[in-house]
Structure 1
Amino acid sequence: METGYETILYEVGERIARITLNRPEARNALSDGMIDELLDAFARAGADDAVRVIVLTGAGDRAFCAGADLGGLGRAQRDGRPVADPEAIRASAPYRLFTAFPALGKPIIARLAGHAVAGGLGLAAACDLVVAAEDVKLGTPEAGVGLWPMMIMAIINRNVPPKQAFKLYYTGRRITAAEGRDIGLVTDVVPRAELDAHVDDLARAIAAKSPLGLRKGREAFFAIEGRPLEDQVAHLLGELVELAGSEDAKEGISAFLEGRDPHFQGR
């Protein structure tokens, strides 16, 4: 277990990097310091060839993440920081966090043993896959305190149909993990006792795939977003041709034809 961080835990095993938000006394709320440490952990996992999958979770079973530290937000406003200035926005911790996910380079799974609300829900939704215990609740309560889920709306709107998104935002009602799965926020819902085994099995299954194929496919997924169909097809064809010539693709095809497990090297 990595002890060099103050607000998160980091460990690597079985080709999986496990990152834990470790402020259970604050329901794992996102402080600027925690975001800086998360970004550092993401960079470490991305650069480590021994890591093929990232699992993000929160300490304890009370909360995955309760969102932004509102006390820190209030201090930022009282300090008179130019929060509407474009340069200040791009330098802010929340901006750097949520824009980092497409560039991670490796699959990331959110493991929800506790509730995910406000920015915490955005953090979970920013992950590629979300596995939740069946008693977990999700919600966007910002409107109830005179705010709006501005930052995470960019993430949630990519996962949820518009009318379901508005219902979340307007009412602030906490929905069940099963409801979250029905509208596209959650991948799998499992009994609490099966959560760790399910996440581990999923992470191991992904880690067995070609790291090069996963990285190139993930990059292509984000690269074609919002582009015309013709541009998407042209981009994807070029990526397929390049990937088909890789050592991993040749090994995968040979293993399939020979009836054995492939041994991918990420090349």
Structure 2
Amino acid sequence: MTLEVQRPSDSPGVVRLVLSNPPANATSIEDLCSIADTIEDVTQEDRVIVISAHGKGFSAGGDLKEMDRLDGHEGILGQCLESARACTAISRCSVPVIVVVHDYCLGVGIELVGSADIALANEAALFQWTEVDNGTVGGAAQGFRMLPPQVLRHLMFTAEPITARDLWVRGALTEVMPIADLDARAQEIAQTIASKSPNLVRHLKASMDAIEAFEVENAMRFEQGFIFQLNMEGSGSAARAAFLEGTRKGIKGRSALPDA
């Protein structure tokens, strides 16, 4: 995947990070590293960051094929460490971060969404905490920030998909809309934030971050202790192998906990 960094001349202060990894937009270790590097190097001229993806879906989750290709524990370690770094960078960024989701968002993609200040999605987009089917336990660090505990537990224990609209009515996400309106709405919000006093916005974000006291790095590192244990025991790698071999049974297509 490549991360394209855009600073449009007609939108001063707006930084756009666009992910692209055909065919499914699986999120690679390099992607996560690039997200972290870019956000950690935010300049005084940058006022708001918008993260989106080009092509099919926002994120198919961590790139399991990449993890399988790498030697030893390099894949699982890289994915875990860089996902924590990327999410921490988003959470601690000195300017607001908006994440824009289209079509679907799985695994580490949800971690990026749950670390952001503002999250938009098309109403039919499917979100899915697939960790239990993929031999891992991550996703709760951001999930508890997005949803009531019993709703999150249902979604994580079953790995059932849920639409953005069904998430939104339960308190997750900032706004949902038709997919045709998504980019324009994200740009509208970004430009509104960029038009405010940058000093005031940075201080406001720092204040809200401290009050919310969401320590994404500590929470993710705690989760990752269980992930590493699962891999040492063999059950984590066995679940990933089942996915790669096409023998894993998963749930697709319908929304868990529909609103109507």
Structure 2 length-normalised TM: 0.74
What is the match of residue 69 of structure 1? 63
Runs of 4+ in 1 over 4 A off after TM superposition: 80-83
1:54 aligns with 2:39: no
Alpha-carbon distance, 1:100 to partner: 1.4
Aligned counterpart for 1:35 among listed residues 32, 37, 43: 32
8 A Cα contact 2:98 2:117, kept in partner? yes
Specify the SS of the correspondent of 1:47.
coil
Distance 2:75 2:181 in 1: 46
The answer to whether the 8 A contact 2:88-2:115 is kept is no
User: Taking structure 1 as reference, are residues 197 and 168 closer, same or farther at Cα in structure 2, changes over 3 Å only?
Assistant: same
- Contact 1:30 1:69 (8 Å CA) reproduced: yes
Q: CA deviation at 1:8?
A: 0.9
Q: Please state if 1:171 is matched with 2:151.
A: no
Q: Which has the larger radius of gyration?
A: 1
Q: Which residue of 2 aligns with 1:79?
A: 72
Aligned residue for 2:30, secondary structure, equals: helix
Residue 81 of structure 1, CA deviation: 5.5
Q: Structure 2: any 5+ residue segments left out of the alignment?
A: 215-260
Cα distance between partner residues in 1 of 2:108 and 2:190: 24
| Equivalence for 1:237 | none
The one of 3, 16, 32 aligned to 1:8: 3
* Matched length: 211
Q: d(CA) in 1 for partners of 2:73 and 2:146?
A: 34
Contact kept? 2:83, 2:108, Cα under 8 Å: no
- Is 1:24–1:63's contact at 8 Å kept on the other side of the alignment? no
Partner of 1:207: 194
Asked if the contact 2:90–2:116 (Cα under 8 Å) also holds between the matched residues in 1, the reply is: yes
1:142 to partner: Cα distance: 1.8
Measured at CA, do residues 143 and 223 of structure 1 come closer, stay the same or move farther in structure 2, by a change above 3 Å?
A: same
Q: Deviations over 1:184-240 (max 9, x none)?
A: 32111111111122111111111111211111111122223359xxxxxxxxxxxxx
Aligned pairs for 1:76-155 within 5 A: 79-80=72-73, 92-148=81-137, 150=138, 152-155=139-142
Letter in 2 for 1:43: E
3-state SS, counterpart of residue 183 of structure 1 = coil
Match of 1:258 in 2: none
Gap change, CA 1:82 and 1:35, over 3 Å in 2: closer
Q: 1:39-82 CA deviation, whole Å, 9 max, x = no partner?
A: 222134x2141x2111100111x210111111333456x51469
1:22 paired to 2:20: yes
Q: CA deviation at 1:174?
A: 1.0
Root-mean-square deviation (Å): 2.4
Shift, 1:98, TM fit? 1.7
- Residue 156 of structure 1 deviates from its aligned partner by 1.4
Distance 1:147 1:24 in 2: 24
Give the SS at the match of 1:28: coil
Aligned residue for 2:230? none
SS of 1:157 mapped into structure 2: helix
